[in-house]
A and B are shown apart, each in its own frame.
Chain A
Amino acid sequence: MAAKFSGRISLRGVTKVFPGHDGHPDVHALGPVDLDIAAGEFVSVVGPSGCGKSTLLDVLSGLAAATAGTATFDEKPLVGQVPDGIGAVFQQDASFFWLNVWDNVAFGLRRRGVSAGEVARRVDQALAFMGLAGFARAYPAQLSGGMRQRVCIARTLVLEPKVLLLDEPFGALDQQTRLLMGDELLRIWRETGATVVLITHALDEAAMLSDRVAVMSARPGRFIDIVTTCWPRTRDSRIVSDERFGAVTARLWEKLREESLRAMGVAGPSENTKS
């Protein structure tokens, strides 16, 4: 399941502006942002609603091109086309309802023309890895939300991505399931060695899972703080009982509270920027 080598990401002055309709101004959704993500790192991005976190993910994945600045993946520029080696899991359920679990996970491999024997080997391995082996013949409609997300994750992992991008993947799940899925994600990260970028609005989730947490301001999203957690690589959800956990979440909330009020329209324009 190991990625051959993990992906490095670099953002320099990346900005995204959506042109406005007649009479409406342009929407300055993101940036400028600067960020370097090392190979094999686990980075989370937190921020208030509408701050541009998902836009950031679109730029990172190649789904959207930056309006200004440069974004590179393994030193190659991202120009609005998805490069090889990117895996993405979205908030909405993307499991293909017309295929059973096995065929869902095999989908990407088959489109790449991998031999049938190799497909079978890798799919079985991915299913076992994600705890889905007993559900191979089931259809997504018969599974819970958490299981369906596991199917989407397995489908992504089986392609051995160097960078795993997750956009609020556990948003639709209840708290207990979220915590357990967080453990899952850490296990995946350790065992594949991939670089992980997690977009989330849940501070405790970001604080618990990441090597670093980037705090984004209200729109236009800019990084106002980057918190390093110094957790060991072997961590799991029980890190919440570490005495430093409270300090991390406190620092995140300290920066984020004002931005959230700003996003709700209660506070004035932002002076908090770190570029």
Chain B
Amino acid sequence: MGWRLHITKVGAARTAFVVLVFAALELLCRLGVIPLVTMIPPSEMVASLWSILAGGTFNNDIVFTLYNIVAAAVLAVVLGFFLGAGLHALPRLRRPLVPLLSAYYAVPTFVFYPLLIVAFGVGRTALIVMGAMFGIVAMIVNTTLGLDHVPPAVDRTAAILRLDRWRRLVLVRLPAAAPHLVTGIKLAVAYSVIGIVAGEFILATAGMGKRIAFSYDNFDNRTMYGMLLLLLIGVMIINGALSAWERRLHRRFGQQ
């Protein structure tokens, strides 16, 4: 079977599968097998999503969350990169630390959120710090991994060219480590989202998480599912774009 035909068949099968799942959900909801208090039909979710976007009632919530995610992600990525590079340069510090970093994501660190609120007040600062705290470890780990994978020959070439340490890092090692760094960015963004949404669930002045929690408490399933769908689609778009970038870099750079 030709390769291109295979890809088409795979794509078709995948689309068919996804459509089937949604059709099944729609049917089960409409027939009442899944009660309305638990879940509304997917078509209703889409309708709700549309009215949220078109109506604009929750625009400031959406913008609030988006701003927080971007700010937290940038903080996590930049700080995480430098911490990761520093850790890579200090192998004595790195060795005992690495197993602990893997354990970091087993613990729900957004329990620190109330402490952040006391420190920074209820508002976006606490949320952004929360998101950054969540995402930074993924960036640190992937930065060290990426710098590990810089081929020694590339490093030595940079040295032979007599570049100073700073130039070596930015002009040679950073690009060489790019595939892993982009993986780190992708994960940092994903985890920042989790940290911020969790924070907004717990307590916030505004935001999509707050809106979802509020709707849940008030049995407003329609708004809740509409908002959830918007959040999910937004996350999938961002993640999809970053994944595509990641894949392109891995392909261009080859396996290391």
Chain A residues near B (Cβ < 8 Å): 19-23
Check if B162 is an interface residue, CB within 8 A of chain A. no
| Nearest CB of B to A213, in Å | 35
Q: How far is the CA of A21 from the CA of B4 in the complex (A)?
A: 7
B:1-44 near A, CB below 8 Å: 2-5
CB nearest neighbor in A for B8 = A22
Q: How far is the CA of A220 from the CA of B3 in the complex (A)?
A: 22
| Nearest CB of B to A21, in Å | 4
- Encode contact with A along B130-143: 1 for CB under 8 Å, 0 otherwise: 00000000000000
In the complex, chain A residues whose CB is within 8 Å of the CB of B3: 21-22
In the complex, chain B residues whose CB is within 8 Å of the CB of A21: 2-5
Chain B residues near A (Cβ < 8 Å): 2-5
Interface SS majority for chain B: helix
In the complex, chain A residues whose CB is within 8 Å of the CB of B4: 21-23
| Nearest CB of A to B247, in Å | 21
How many A-B pairs with Cβ below 8 Å?
A: 11
Which 7 pairs between the two chains have the least Cβ-Cβ distance? A21-B3, A21-B2, A22-B4, A22-B2, A21-B4, A22-B5, A20-B2
Q: How far is the CA of A19 from the CA of B3 in the complex (A)?
A: 10
Q: What would 8 more interface pairs be, CB under 8 Å, given A19-B2, A21-B2, A22-B4?
A: A20-B2, A21-B3, A21-B4, A21-B5, A22-B2, A22-B3, A22-B5, A23-B4
Q: How far is the CA of A21 from the CA of B6 in the complex (A)?
A: 10
In the complex, chain B residues whose CB is within 8 Å of the CB of A23: 4
- Name 10 A/B residue pairs within 8 A (Cβ), A-sorted: A19-B2, A20-B2, A21-B3, A21-B4, A21-B5, A22-B2, A22-B3, A22-B4, A22-B5, A23-B4
| Nearest CB of A to B136, in Å | 35
Q: How far is the CA of A20 from the CA of B4 in the complex (A)?
A: 10
Q: How far is the CA of A19 from the CA of B6 in the complex (A)?
A: 14
In the complex, chain A residues whose CB is within 8 Å of the CB of B2: 19-22
In the complex, chain B residues whose CB is within 8 Å of the CB of A20: 2
CB nearest neighbor in B for A23 = B4
| Nearest CB of B to A121, in Å | 44
Q: How far is the CA of A104 from the CA of B5 in the complex (A)?
A: 41
Q: How far is the CA of A21 from the CA of B8 in the complex (A)?
A: 13
In the complex, chain B residues whose CB is within 8 Å of the CB of A22: 2-5
CB nearest neighbor in A for B3 = A21
| Nearest CB of A to B183, in Å | 27
| Nearest CB of A to B23, in Å | 31
In the complex, chain A residues whose CB is within 8 Å of the CB of B5: 21-22
| Nearest CB of B to A22, in Å | 5
| Nearest CB of B to A24, in Å | 8
Q: How far is the CA of A15 from the CA of B5 in the complex (A)?
A: 26
Q: How far is the CA of A19 from the CA of B2 in the complex (A)?
A: 8
| Nearest CB of A to B9, in Å | 12
Q: How far is the CA of A20 from the CA of B2 in the complex (A)?
A: 7
In the complex, chain B residues whose CB is within 8 Å of the CB of A19: 2
- Which residue among A19, A20, A21, A23 has the maximum number of chain B CB atoms within 10 Å of its CB? A21
Q: How far is the CA of A275 from the CA of B5 in the complex (A)?
A: 37
Q: How far is the CA of A23 from the CA of B5 in the complex (A)?
A: 11
| Nearest CB of A to B8, in Å | 9
Q: How far is the CA of A20 from the CA of B3 in the complex (A)?
A: 8
